[in-house]
Amino acid sequence: MLIREAHNQDIDQLVAIEELCYDQPWLREVFEEEIERDDDAGVGIVAEDEGLVVGFLTGMAVVDEFYLHNLAVHPDFRGRGIGRGLLEAAESLCNQRDFRSILLEVREDNEAARQLYLDLGFEAAGTRKDYYGPGQNAYMYIKHLGSK
Ligand SMILES: CC(C)(COP(=O)(O)OP(=O)(O)OC[C@H]1O[C@@H](n2cnc3c(N)ncnc32)[C@H](O)[C@@H]1OP(=O)(O)O)[C@@H](O)C(=O)NCCC(=O)NCCS
């Protein structure tokens, strides 16, 4: 398993995984916006197995904080540490760039993702009511980095 930076050529595979993972998948344009940006604010990381992208993480740096926007692993490749590996790679990048924290939202009924974030030291930081639609609330999670 190789974890590496995402490139423009990966976007078709990211869109395919996105559509397998979510009822309301992101459109291709959203991936293009984060991965093809000219500045270094957009972050895209992929997990590759035998030349195929099997998972990804994307987000955006805002000053010294990183907003994790998306993390998904192909259903056939879950439970093998890929989500954890992607998140650890993002955290390592954030530490290299001396970021203060990583922030994200997760659906309150998404047990797998919430357990992953808690395992990696994220803390609940509040809720957003109806964030994903009526009756579909989000938890906000944060991980403080380094000594900040
Ligand atoms: C959440 C997701 C990314 C996890 O990816 P994964 O590669 O299967 O996760 P890992 O194998 O790295 O698991 C790491 C930890 O996450 C937690 N976890 C993962 N799957 C879990 C499950 N089904 N139930 C409970 N905890 C789970 C466990 O703590 C696990 O540690 P362990 O293996 O020591 O028990 C994956 O389930 C996914 O793509 N889901 C759909 C998209 C999504 O919901 N993304 C999150 C948006 S906020």
Our mutation pick for probing the ligand 1 site, out of 115, 131, 139, counting the most ligand atoms within 8 A of Cβ, is 115
Reduced to 3 states, what is the DSSP secondary structure of residue 88?
helix
pLDDT of residue 146: 84
- Which structure tokens are listed for 31? 């991936």
pTM of the model: 0.97
Distance of CA 123 to the CA centre of its chain: 16
Residue among 146, 145, 126 nearest 137 (CA): 126
Residue 18 pLDDT > 70, yes or no?
yes
Boundaries of every domain in the chain: 2-144
Burial tier of 122 (Cβ tally within 10 Å: 0-12, 13-18, 19+): buried
Q: Determine the straight-line distance between the first and last CA of the chain, rounded to whole angstroms.
A: 32
Query: What topology does CATH give the domain 2-144?
Result: Aminopeptidase (3.40.630)
Lining ligand 1 with CB less than 6 A are 21, 71-73, 78-84, 106, 110-113, 115-116, 119
Using one digit for the tens of pLDDT, what is the confidence trace for 74-87? 999 999 999 999 99
